[in-house]
Amino acid sequence: MSAKVITIIVTKGSLDWAYPPLILASTAAALGYECRMFFTFYGLQLLKRNLRLQVSPLGNPALGSRLPVFIKTLPGVQAMFTRKARERLRAKGVADIEELRQLCLDADVKMYACQMTAELHEFTKKDFIPGVEYAGAATFFQSAGESDICVFT
């Protein structure tokens, strides 16, 4: 019997949105799934060699809901939310993004950067970690069509 296949499309590139696809991919790989990740638009940020991921309280009702919007726009507020998120994750023993990403690569999770989006944002292969392949939307659709599970994050 062949392994089940999961395809995850990754569209967001902030610290808080980096965890769901990487946790799902590493868990799927640990459970024996063949896992493929297709990174597009802001999701490409998660493939960069030098991560500078942040958490923004703007447009996120779960963060800083008691703060007025104008406070959330002040200089330093995003950095404060990012620092607090990192402290909480570290205190709870949650792996950082670089560790999760490497865990996925070590588990043979296939990571595809959307070629069109990479060109749009003027990213080159040198901007990304080793092991990332370029692919287009047709590759995503082929993968999604072959998958037992397809997840959008």
pLDDT score, position 65? 67
The total number of residues written for the chain in this structure: 153
Q: Is 128 helix (H, G, I), strand (E, B) or coil?
A: strand
pLDDT at 1 over 70: no
Under CATH, which architecture does the 5-53+97-152 domain have? 3-Layer(aba) Sandwich (3.40)
Token output for 70:
């104008």
> Per residue in 62-115, pLDDT tens?
766 677 777 777 788 878 888 888 899 999 999 999 999 999 999 999 999 999
**Domain parsing of the chain, residue ranges:** 5-53+97-152
> Per residue in 29-68, pLDDT tens?
999 999 999 999 999 999 999 998 988 877 776 766 677 7
The residues with which 132 forms a beta bridge, in sequence order, are 111
114 close to 40: Cβ distance less than 8 angstroms: yes
117 against 77, higher pLDDT: 117
The Cα 24–Cα 130 span in angstroms is: 21
pLDDT at 137 over 70: yes
Average pLDDT over residues 22-30: 96
Rounded to two decimals, the pTM is: 0.88
